[in-house]
Amino acid sequence: GAVVSQHPSRVICKSGTSVKIECRSLDFQATTMFWYRQFPKKSLMLMATSNEGSKATYEQGVEKDKFLINHASLTLSTLTVTSAHPEDSSFYICSASGTSGRLEQYFGPGTRLTVT
């Protein structure tokens, strides 16, 4: 159990365009979802936390107007990178925690974004 999917797994887009990444909890209700960014050979950096039906809480230094997060249902959160630039190229990983009482976060497989 506790499977989290992300789509797409890889995406290449041109500078100035926007790209949307979906994160779904497949077999549990995710009351909270998290978005992380990971640079090569670096650890995960928490970008924002979102609770279903409310606005996301962004970590310091993360531009909320650039990284739009929507958590419209208990199984889906989306991250939209707006007006993408090459420096936005990264590995984006979502995770989810649910209502089961278990403590750990379950991670999605990640999305590799390349902005050309």
Partner 1 sequence: GQNIDQPTEMTATEGAIVQINCTYQTSGFNGLFWYQQHAGEAPTFLSYNVLDGLEEKGRFSSFLSRSKGYSYLLLKELQMKDSASYLCAVKRGANNLFFGTGTRLTVIP
Instruction: Indicate the residue among 51 and 80 with the shorter CB distance to partner 1.
Output: 51
Task: Decide if residue 82 touches partner 1 (CB under 8 A).
Answer: no
3-class secondary structure, 104: coil
In this structure, what is the dihedral angle of CA atoms 108, 111, 112, 113, given to the nearest 10 degrees? -150
- 98 contributes a contact to partner 1 by CB under 8 A: no
List binders of partner 1 among 15-44 (CB under 8 A).
32, 34, 36, 41-44
Running DSSP on this structure, what letter comes out for residue 55? P
Q: Which residue has the tokens 């050979």?
A: 41
Distance (Å, whole) CA 78 – CA 23: 6
Find the binder of partner 1 among 35, 110, 113, 115 (CB under 8 A).
110
Nearest-approach distance from CB 92 to partner 1, in angstroms: 11
Contact 33, 50 (CB under 8 A): yes
**Does residue 97 interact with partner 1 by CB under 8 A?**
yes
The site for partner 1 (CB under 8 A) is made up of 4, 32, 34, 36, 41-46, 49, 91, 93, 95, 97, 103-110, 112
